[in-house]
Amino acid sequence: MSTPNERTPREQETRAAAARPLTWKPPTTLPDPHPRPGLCFRWVRVSAMGAADPGNISNSFQEGWEPVRAVDYPELDFHPDKNSRWPENVEIGGLLLCSAPALLMKQRADYYDQLTRRQMQAVNDQLDRETDPRLSRVTRDSKTSVGFGPDARRERGA
């Protein structure tokens, strides 16, 4: 049987010794919010090199993106810009965190996929026309003559 003197005192037994060592990782410039069902997130440029970019903001808002309020996302660890135009929202380095309904963004992605397919089809059709003689367009031949002007008339008449 073991004697009480052989036991390790409770103060020396810690879970810290059994815990995994912390690993260093580089800091992220833009923190990611925890995923929320039915929402997509995107960082929208509101300024570049200190100058506001109202055109980009307006386009993003028209597409359906809305600024995210900082109080709704406490998991984002950031320090707000002092001179921010968006003090209640999440803005870091001229980028504003925005969210939009996932269904709306799926419709947007489908629109651009269809546009891309049409453009690729147009390019492929053009390449087919250039390689297949049956699909070539009728071209008009034009003739160019050398020597137009008063000097050319003298030579013809002489």
Binned at pLDDT 50, 70 and 90, residue 17 comes out as: low
Reported as a single tens digit per residue, the pLDDT across 138-158 is: 566 666 666 666 665 555 555
Domain ranges of the chain: 106-133
Given a cut of 80, is residue 106 above it in pLDDT? yes
* Cα(49)–Cα(47) distance, integer angstroms: 7
* CB contact at 8 A, 132 and 124: no
Sequence-distant (≥ 6) Cβ neighbours of residue 137 within 8 angstroms: 129
**Containing H/E element for 92?**
strand 91-92
What values do phi and psi take at 51, rounded to 5?
-100, 135
Q: What pLDDT does residue 59 have? A: 92
In the chain, pLDDT over 70 holds for what percent of residues?
Answer: 74
In the predicted model, is pLDDT for residue 78 greater than 60?
Answer: yes
Taking residues 89-99, report their average pLDDT. Answer: 89
Q: Per-residue pLDDT for 58 more than 70?
A: yes
Query: Between 23 and 16, whose confidence is greater?
Result: 23
